[in-house]
Chains A and B, each alone.
Chain A
Amino acid sequence: MSPVLQGILTILIGVGGCIAYFYGSNLILDKLIFPARNDDHGRNINRATMVRPWLFLFPALFALSLYLIYPVIGSFIRSLYNRSGDTFIGLGNYVQMFSEDGFRTAFLNNVLWALVVPAAATFFGLLVAQLTDRLRWGNIAKSLIFMPMAISFVGASLIWKFVYANDPDIGIINAVRDYFGMAPIDVLQIPFWNNFFLMVILVWIQTGFAMVILSAALRGIPEETVEAAIIDGANPFQIFFKIKVPQIKGTIVVVWTTITILVLKVFDIVYAMTGGNFATEILPSYMMDFMFRDDGRATAVAFVIMLIVLPVMIWNIRQARSEMR
């Protein structure tokens, strides 16, 4: 069967199945199990009300447990076994991994990514958000800077391959160097600094995200505070840094952490640009080197990523709980 037909069939079965499940299970609950008639119809309505949330939640909870909760445990257990998965080796994969240069490079590079990308994207996002705030063509400008968000990491990598290309007739960087009479260089092969050229791509993509959210936060600042500062004689820079930024600190933190989490997941850019060569490996791409070859090692790397994310996760849950109250 062609995948297209299969796809259409899946949509029909999937959507139809979901509707049938939700409609049917509610019907069965109301009409068959706890019918709202006879002597105890009051009690039956109450019972039905107690069961119904779980009917609504069941498919989602099932999928979440299977695809996200079980893997946390499953991955951890798998990471304690060897390559073929039949021998328990305890923390062997981790010990082996930490002693390897490849992992250390990937880890350090990832730390660098997690420091630079969120900082740069948030900085540019805030800059654009503030500058476009009162601009007549601000919305067009924002929309254009936001655009890379729609582009895949692979597509973005290709776009930047054109910028970084060695040939001065293709790569802008080398065209500029050529103009000043310098020999062309492959920026992706300059040790250490090549990491930054890769980070530029993610910053390019994520600035739009930061901008959109920070721009909304700036709009939300009460006007009186700014007006009062102006009357007191504050200059625009003081208004920005002393009045506006402190009021949107919370949002800045949210943006920053969201991008940090993203940095720990994106393997596409390194994979497409350098394939992890020239010491540009980061943890997600390092993991993909072992995927399909050494599942024990791959899950161990994945679990290290999980451990790094964990503090953010706990912080998020705390925030959510305090808002619920």
Chain B
Amino acid sequence: MDNIAGQKSSLSIVSNLSVLLLVILWLVPTVGLLVSSFRDRDQIGQSGWWASMFPVEQAYRINPEPEGVQQVDGLYVLEGNVFGEGSGSVAAFGIQAREPSAADVGQTYTRFVVDVTEPDGKVDDIKLELAYPAGDAPVFPDVDEDGNKIMAETAQIDRSLTVMGNGDFSYASAKDIKRAPSVYIMAETPPEFTLINYETILGSAGMDRAFINTLTVTIPATIIPILIAAFAAYALAWMDFAGRGFLVAVVVGLLVVPLQLALVPMLTFHNKVGIGQSFLGIWLAHTGFGLPLAIYLLRNYMVGLPRDIIESAKVDGATDFQVFTKIVLPLSFPALASFAIFQFLWTWNDLLVAKVFLPSNSESWVMTVKIADDLLGSRGGDWGILAAAAFVSIAVPLFVFFAMQKYLVRGLLAGSVK
């Protein structure tokens, strides 16, 4: 329409780009969740999900077995490969946990014990750590951090480590190597995805139970209101009786009544009649709360059905009951589907009604309650677990959404615009 006068190119590029930007903006949070749910705890702590496609530099501590120690030039030397039987690529290494990348590969990192002369002429010995190309002689600085003069000729090796890029190392120590020494390396870890979070969440964390509970709440709470509403909608659309207009107005008014009002009185009522906090209670509650929209949507749709069909059926002797079940109900399938999706999404995603009308013990938690009241607290820092839990809870609605989007859109339109 906008292009009739031929003003296309530049505006079209701008709108393409801005839509692209908006779509990315809208998708990024969900993608982040999805990606994070496939990463284990270490990886999430090590790099952002946006970097998950790239290798991560991670610090490792390796304790090679002290086997085959040789004595060379008065030092005990242990040689081997940091990756053991495996392979990999070392980026940097060190001999202390707080400095895992003290030296680059191909260098030797040595801790010397060396004498220094303090300004007042006193001689003391200090520990000095130096990194220098493997095979070369170390170059000592003239003074240490405190300004004391270093006497390089007195240097003794305390321990020394050389690591090559492929992981070959040589560890030397002044003392005999009896226990496994600690070697720290920084190595590139290839991108890695795991299902461990899903295993945890569906196994020990009890999300499987919550999933089944959600399903148990959702299905009856979707089907029953449809049935009840369909009959009422037919009566409001095609039957003549006094007070019809008034009832339609009441239904429209009830559309916006806040749920919050019903919580206390209805819970009290349920307790009084013996339903208490139970699945039966939540089915009834969802049925009641879903009815206004159901009746409204279905009535709007049924009113639009062609009058001829219904009247000619009546002329042929069909009763209202027959007209409803044989003609109106099959024709109203799109509206029934729309409402079914609404009610399904609403009951599946509901937290408020489940918190109030279901018992608060962990056996009856639905997924939303499980996430909000349990996981966010007890697993607050465990991002991978949280992401997996969230994704388990949104997977079914997302599937329903993409599979039946047509009906959802149709229902929204029928509910809001006329």
Contact = CB atoms under 8 A, between A and B. Distances in A.
A239 B402 CA distance: 33
A129 B321 CA distance: 42
A276 to B, nearest CB: 13
A81 to B, nearest CB: 11
B398 A151 contact: yes
A317 B249 CA distance: 5
Contacts of A170: 36, 44, 48-49, 383
B412 A169 contact: no
A67 B288 contact: yes
Interface in A131-181: 131-135, 138, 141, 143-155, 157-163, 165, 167-170, 172, 175
A69 B102 CA distance: 73
A169 B259 contact: no
Interface stretch (A92-100, A187-195, A251-259): A251-259
Given A150-B397, A160-B29, A204-B29, A71 B280 contact: no
A235 B254 CA distance: 44
A75 B261 contact: yes
Interface residues of B, number: 121
Interface in A203-262: 204, 207, 209, 212-213, 216-217, 223, 226-227, 230-231, 235-236, 239, 251, 254-255, 258, 261
B231 A57 contact: yes
B407 interface: no
B258 A306 contact: yes
A213 B412 contact: yes
Contacts of A183: none
A303 interface: yes
The 3 closest A-B pairs by CB, nearest first: A67-B288, A152-B349, A74-B265
Given A60-B295, A71-B266, A144-B23, A305 B260 contact: yes
Given A63-B291, A159-B33, A302-B258, A271 B372 contact: yes
Interface of A: 3-4, 6-7, 10-11, 14-15, 18-19, 22-23, 26, 30, 49-50, 52-54, 56-57, 59-61, 63-64, 66-72, 74-75, 78, 124, 127-128, 131-135, 138, 141, 143-155, 157-163, 165, 167-170, 172, 175, 204, 207, 209, 212-213, 216-217, 223, 226-227, 230-231, 235-236, 239, 251, 254-255, 258, 261, 264-265, 267-268, 271-272, 284, 287-288, 291, 295, 298-299, 301-303, 305-306, 309, 312-314, 316-317, 319-321, 323-324
Contacts of A3: 212-213, 216, 279, 364
A297 B106 CA distance: 72
Contacts of B255: 316
A11 B223 contact: yes
B80 to A, nearest CB: 33
Interface of B: 1-5, 7, 11, 15-16, 18-20, 22-23, 26-30, 32-33, 36, 44-50, 212-213, 215-217, 219-220, 223-224, 227-229, 231-232, 234-236, 239-241, 244-245, 247-266, 268-269, 279-280, 283-285, 287-289, 291-292, 295, 319-321, 324, 345, 348-352, 355-356, 364, 368, 371-372, 376, 383, 386-387, 389-390, 393-394, 397-398, 400-402, 405, 408-409, 412-413, 416-418
A272 B401 CA distance: 24
A74 to B, nearest CB: 3
Contacts of B22: 124, 127-128, 131, 141, 145
B219 A56 contact: no
A230 B372 contact: no
Nearest to A268: B351
Contact of B393 (A152, A236, A324): A152
B38 to A, nearest CB: 13
Contacts of A168: 48
Contact of A313 (B256, B260, B412, B417): B256
A148 to B, nearest CB: 7
Instruction: Tell me if B's interface is mostly helix, strand, loop or mixed.
Output: helix
A152 B265 contact: no
B220 A152 contact: no
B418 A323 contact: yes
B1 A134 contact: yes
Given A10-B280, A312-B256, A316-B255, A209 B412 contact: yes
Nearest to A220: B417
A113 to B, nearest CB: 14
Nearest to A251: B417
Contact of A143 (B215, B268, B402): B402
B396 to A, nearest CB: 9
A100 B45 CA distance: 42
Contacts of B46: 169
A270 to B, nearest CB: 11
Contact of B220 (A7, A149, A216, A236): A7
Given A223-B1, A236-B2, A30 B295 contact: no
A53 B258 contact: no
Contacts of A22: 231, 321
Contacts of A165: 383
A258 B416 contact: yes
Given A155-B390, A264-B258, A131 B289 contact: no
B93 to A, nearest CB: 23
Given A68-B292, A172-B32, A306-B261, A18 B50 contact: no
Contacts of B284: 63, 67
B19 A68 contact: no
Given A155-B349, A159-B390, A175-B48, A216 B413 contact: yes
Given A131-B15, A134-B2, A298 B279 contact: no
A18 B228 contact: yes
B232 A265 contact: no
Contacts of A216: 409, 413, 417
B7 to A, nearest CB: 7
A152 B288 contact: no
Given A64-B288, A71-B265, 11 more contacts: A6-B216, A53-B235, A59-B232, A64-B291, A64-B292, A135-B19, A150-B398, A154-B393, A158-B389, A167-B45, A324-B249
